[in-house]
Structure 1
């Protein structure tokens, strides 16, 4: 994967399509005669670069080293202003904020009734789409206008604004608490990982209950219910209650199907909910359920009214490509076409600045596992090497460990085992540093280390010993996640048979 610069301005310019570049040029030239302005010259120079090179900019004499920082900041703001005026970038939140800005300008000019008229329309839209933060901002400005000027807009205006403000404030408190709880569990997942014991599980459950004691689900609106389901999904993942996680992710997705207009307003959360749902259906290996929910997703994505943006498109690509891989895994027939794998490289090139590299590495791992299932070991090793020899991104330890295990399986089955002992040694060293080290990791390594030191006629005994040990370890539900990556246990059983 190319090592693209992290310079914010360069990445922003490279994300622009031809239409957006043209609009930016029209925007700056419409304001004043900027054809020779330094930041236009800088824009053109950066647009032509394949990689960010500050020395090349200075050699071209566009600006001095001391002025470059201010020039880049000026150009960055101008591009964002141009994009803000682009109708294709105006989602509902930008539209409501724009109306709020217009109303503020009218208020400052003393045109109070005109300001209130715009605010009233914007508030109805904010209520309809449950944009509570924006609705509160609108109501606060309405209060300012009503409290300073005799508008005589409607009778009982004060009581109406007070009631709306109180209701929104209560809902906002619920949403804040639930979003904080969801974020807390997500953070714990990243830093500490899954519960490793019954004590961990009870601590998580107790903390969760304390935060939800006085929250009545029946009074929650769409936004609060969304955070409610998200918090429950993460709680269930942490304690490895996958059936519970499936129920709440299903409720999350159905919440959107029951409120279709919210898909337009919150497409990313719609996609994320589906992502968790598919992950859990894959665990239960239900082909019918997977195909049913995938068809519903595809029907939504193929509608012309589904929102379009680089961010949304990149997340949709990740989900759709992952689903194609998962359907192959869940069927386990390995008799389909792998032509769609070529889409991965196209997606990598198109969304390289919008998707973090970890997600691509996970897809590489899935592709490697799929090729292994097809017994195309050379292709499998090609994709595992794309993870193992990645020097520009820190690979998560769990992904690194299981990638080496998959590579060892491919090397063993193909006979192409030049790096076999090297990978065994590297994984043993990794185990010593792992934060979430479990006995199942040791069991895996004992198997693969043993295979390199015994004769072929002794392998069946070693595989049998591993199966007995692994089956006993997997009685502990907190170790079972290790088999979700690659089924080493079933692979060993096949070697015995």
Structure 2
């Protein structure tokens, strides 16, 4: 079920995802889900990952923040049983909820938990954490930090063994455009959006969009709308087409 939910999330199959999530919610109440510690903890991890992903899909970031206290409580309770990477993935997803809801300062707080973790982690998580960190500071108008933060993202992207087309475009954008002149990036945002918009449904680009809905963020910049409104509009359009 976890793999199915991830696949449906990557492909933005809203209706099928909602059905699968409901089935998983029911399973989480079953005897099997709580028959031993491993099942109990795995159910917590996979179910809450799916719940957060659902909020990402439909643009209800603020609603998703209601999950955070319970998730943090369980992360502490299960600390001995969860590997650090799983915990930091939750921090990244929580940071993304705050970013989507417009609370960039709290987003930065969570992202820094990942950035400050000194043990080696997967480069993709470190890279996207730094990219989200950069974007949050941009939203806060901390332009004096942008060049330094862009170099950090650039450094981690250069370590990734393979880059998708979207990641290559983002890599070039950060290297060539995201600098101290960041206040005047409207044209650059539009150009980047035009280059990657057509890749939104490409199954080979799922890693980039699973970590960060960069297209919706770019659209929020280009069309001067909050990011959550952009995502909600896409969701409503998909319902009308269904």
TM above 0.5, one fold? Answer: yes
Does the 8 A contact of 1:368 with 1:379 survive in 2?
yes
> Does the alignment pair 1:452 with 2:176?
no
Change (3 A) 1:338 1:489: closer
The answer to which structure, 1 or 2, has the higher relative contact order (CA under 8 A, 6+ apart) is: 2
Q: Of the candidates 75, 94, 115, which is equivalent to residue 348 of structure 1?
A: 75
2:63 is paired with a residue of what secondary structure?
A: coil
Change (3 A) 1:305 1:360: closer
1:463 is paired with a residue of what secondary structure?
A: helix
CA offsets 1:370-409 (integer angstroms, 9 cap, x no match): 1111011111111111111112x31211111111111111
TM-superposed deviation, 1:346: 1.5
Does the 8 A contact of 2:146 with 2:178 survive in 1?
no
Equivalent residues in 2 for 1:304-383 (5 A)?
Answer: 304=31, 306-336=33-63, 338-383=65-110
CA offsets 1:297-338 (integer angstroms, 9 cap, x no match): 232332346542221211111012212212211221335262
CA offsets 1:340-378 (integer angstroms, 9 cap, x no match): 201222222221121211111111111111111101111
CA distance in 2, matches of 1:455, 1:303: 52
CA offsets 1:59-84 (integer angstroms, 9 cap, x no match): xxxxxxxxxxxxxxxxxxxxxxxxxx
> Does the alignment pair 1:424 with 2:150?
yes
CA distance in 1, matches of 2:197, 2:22: 36
Segments of structure 1 that go 5 or more residues without pairing to the other structure are: 1-273
CA distance in 2, matches of 1:432, 1:291: 37
Does the 8 A contact of 1:310 with 1:354 survive in 2?
no
Change (3 A) 1:461 1:311: same
> Does the alignment pair 1:275 with 2:2?
yes
Q: Of the candidates 166, 169, 172, which is equivalent to residue 443 of structure 1?
A: 169
Equivalent residues in 2 for 1:171-186 (5 A)?
Answer: none
> Does the alignment pair 1:397 with 2:123?
yes
CA distance in 2, matches of 1:433, 1:346: 34
- Return the index of the structure with the highest Cα Rg: 1
Aligned residue for 1:288? 15
CA distance in 1, matches of 2:136, 2:73: 26
Change (3 A) 1:352 1:366: same
CA distance in 1, matches of 2:200, 2:27: 39
CA distance in 2, matches of 1:442, 1:308: 45
2:30 is paired with a residue of what secondary structure?
A: coil
How many residue pairs get aligned? The number is 222
TM-score, structure 1 as length reference: 0.41
TM-score, structure 2 as length reference: 0.80
